[in-house]
Structure 1
C-alpha cells in the first residue's frame, strides 16, 4: 500500500517543471479556475500565491459546478462565508498523502478539521477522502506545499456532533426520541467518536407497521437492538459505502451495501437520501428503518410486556 501511495505521489511531478506556489500548481493542473477566482474574491489569493508552507484541498471547477445554484450565489455574495469555506480547505504546512491515516483529523486555517478516510478498493489499491470528498489527484507538489485535488466542495462545513444534528433536525425528531430512550446520547455525542449513523427520517419510522414504534419505545432491549443496527464504529461516507459490500454494525450483525454510484446507495432495503458530515462522524440519512436479521418487528407492538425481550426466531 505504501508503494502505491508513493507512486501516486510522484505521478503528478514526474517530467514536470517544478511549480513555485500553490497558484502555480492549480494553473498547471488546469481545472481550478473557479477556486482561484473565489480566492481573489475572499482576499485569499496572496495566501495561495505565497511561499507557504501550505496545503490546499482544492475542489475542481466541476466540483463547484455541482453546488446548488443558491449555495454558489450565497458564497459569491457573502465574502465572510466564502472566506470561512475556503479557509476550511486550507492547512498550514506541507501535508502529503504519506501522512494520511484513516480517521486522521487535520486542523485547517478556518478552525475546523478535515477528516481523512482511507478505503480499500482492492488488495493493491486504496482511495482517499477528505470530509467525504474524493481525493482525485493527490500530492500536486510545489515548493510552497501541496494541492490535494478533490472532487467535491467540502460544504456545509462539519458543525456539531451526530447528536447535535439529530436533536436540531425537525425531520429526525422520532430518531431523537428513540436515541434518548435507548440511552445512546452520550455515546453518539463523544467528541472523539468515529461513527456512521444510518439515520431514519420521521417518514421512515412512519412506514413501520402500526403499533411497532410505540412497542419499541416501551422496550429498551428491543429499541437498543434496532438502533445499534444503524451504527458503524467507523466513518463511511458515500465513497466508503460505494466500495463496500457488507459492513459490521455495533449491534453485531452486518448490513448489505448495494451502490451503482455515489449518488445511488442502498443499505439493506433503505435508500441513502443525504450525507451529513459531523465532527464525530457522519450521518447517512435513510428512508427506511433497518431491522436486524431474524428480528420480527410485527411482534413488537404497543401491547407487549415491556419486561420481555424482543421476540425473534433463531
Structure 2
C-alpha cells in the first residue's frame, strides 16, 4: 500500500506523538528539579545558580574554556557510538568510506539525502512519502543547499493505523517537520536546545516551527520522545539522523497544557473560571471576532506547585471569591506574552513592520549558540509585554555554549524549558509571577523568606493595573490562544 495514505489520524495522533505520557515526561525532563511537586524555590539545574560574580568569571574565561569546548565538540560527534546501531543503514557499495572511518557512526556517501533514504532498507516507508511531493524531492536531492534530515526508520511506522483520508497538506507538513536547513551533525545539535525546521508556521508569524533537542541518560531525543538511533550519515548535500518515532508538528498551547493534568490542572481551572479558556485567535472571517491574528506567544505556565506556593489564603481568595476572580485573571494575564516567542536559544520578536513600518523580523536579538562561539558567556536582557496592560516581564538569558540560564523578574527560573506548541512555546515555572511593587510602595513580603503571599500584598501588587482601567482591564486585548 502506498505510504502517502498511512501516516496519522489528523488530531489525536498528533497530540499523542508530540507530547509524551506523564510518566515519560517526568523521567526525561521534569527530573531537572527532582520531584517537581516537592521542589523548593531554590531547586534548579546547577548552571541556573550561576549569578553575579560567577557570570563575570565565565565571561572573562573564554580562552580557557574554548579549548575544552573544542574538545567537547569533537567528541560529541562520536556520541553516536553509544547509540543503538542500525546495521548496514546503507549498502556498503554506497559508501566512500567504511562506517566509522570518519569518526562518525554512519560514515559518508556520495548519494544525496534523497538518494540515500531510497537506497537504505531502513527508510523505504518515509522515502515513499517524500515521492508524492516534488518540492520536497527537490529539497532533499538538490546540492545547492545543505539539509539535515531526521528520518524515521520503517519501524516507526509499524504501530501507525492506516488512514486513507489524511489530507496531503498535513502529510507534507509532517515531512517538512523532519527537515532542518543547514548542517547539524550530532556535535552541533548538542549546542542547541531547539532547531528550526522547514515547516513554516503561520501561527508563529511565518517563522519555522522548531524541534526540541534533549540529551538524557536514555539518549538524544527530539520533542521528548523520538530517540536518535543512528547518527551522522554524511551525504553529498547534508546529514541524515535516523529516529525511532515519527515527528509530528505540535498542537496549540492549550492542548499541550491539557495533556498534563497533574502538572497544570490548577492552571486549567483558573483559565476556565476567568474565561481565558475561551480566547482564540482572530480569524478575520466576519464572525465578529476582530482581534488580530497572533504571530506567536510565550506562555510562562505556572505548575500546580506554583499555585501551592501562593499559600492557602491567597488561593482561597483567588478561586472562591467574586473579587478574587478579577485578580486571578490579572495574574494569568501577567504570564502570557503575545506576538513574541521566547525559546531558550531563539527569540521570535514582533515583526518590525508592526511598529515602525519597516521590514524584516526582530528575531536575532540573541542568536544561535555557534554564531557567538569563542566569546564565552553572553547575557541578553528582554522586557516582554504581557496581557496585563503595561506590566512587563524582565527576562535575563545567560548562554554559555550549550548551557542556558533564564531568570524572570530577577528570581524565577524555568522548571521545564521549551515546551513546543503550534502557536508558540510553553516555559513552565514553579513560582507564580507577580508584578513587582511600584516605586514608592515598599515590599512587605518575600516569597523565598516568608512563604505564601498575604492577600493584602497580592492585591497591592495587582491593584495599579486594575485601577488604571477602571477595574476592567484588557477588554480589547489580542486573543491569547486557548489556555
1:196-207 to structure 2, matched below 5 A, reads 196-207=298-309
Is the CA contact 1:161–1:280 (under 8 Å) kept in the aligned structure 2? yes
Larger Cα Rg: Structure 1 or Structure 2? 2
* Change over 3 Å in CA distance of 1:80–1:117 after alignment to 2: farther
1:108-139, Cα deviation, whole Å (9 max, x unpaired): 9xxxx587679xxxxxxxxx8532569xxxxx
TM-score of the superposed pair, with normalisation by structure 2 = 0.39
The match for 2:397 among 253, 258, 262 is: 258
Alpha-carbon separation, structure 2, partners of 1:172 and 1:299:
23
Task: Mark the runs of 5 or more structure 2 residues left unpaired by the alignment.
Answer: 1-109, 141-146, 183-195, 214-235, 284-292, 348-364, 367-379, 444-451, 468-483
Alpha-carbon separation, structure 2, partners of 1:201 and 1:38:
44
* Change over 3 Å in CA distance of 1:175–1:271 after alignment to 2: same
The match for 1:182 among 253, 269, 274 is: 274
Match of 1:275 in 2: 418
Alpha-carbon separation, structure 2, partners of 1:277 and 1:105:
13
Question: Do structure 1's residue 90 and structure 2's residue 175 form an aligned pair?
Answer: yes
* Change over 3 Å in CA distance of 1:199–1:21 after alignment to 2: same
RCO (CA 8 Å, sep 6+): is it higher in 1 or 2?
Answer: 2
1:156-235 to structure 2, matched below 5 A, reads 157-170=248-261, 171-187=263-279, 192-193=293-294, 194-217=296-319, 218=321, 219-233=324-338, 234-235=340-341
1:266-298, Cα deviation, whole Å (9 max, x unpaired): 333132413222222221112211111227783
Match of 2:448 in 1: none
Give the secondary structure class of the aligned counterpart of 1:131. Answer: strand
The match for 2:345 among 212, 223, 239 is: 239
TM-score of the superposed pair, with normalisation by structure 1 = 0.55
Match of 1:294 in 2: 437
Question: Do structure 1's residue 45 and structure 2's residue 127 form an aligned pair?
Answer: yes
Alpha-carbon separation, structure 2, partners of 1:161 and 1:130:
12
Aligned residues: 244
Give the secondary structure class of the aligned counterpart of 1:211. Answer: helix
The match for 1:23 among 93, 97, 114 is: 114
* Change over 3 Å in CA distance of 1:49–1:255 after alignment to 2: same
Could you say which structure has the higher strand fraction?
1
Alpha-carbon separation, structure 1, partners of 2:129 and 2:282:
35
Is the CA contact 2:199–2:209 (under 8 Å) kept in the aligned structure 1? no
Alpha-carbon separation, structure 1, partners of 2:381 and 2:238:
31
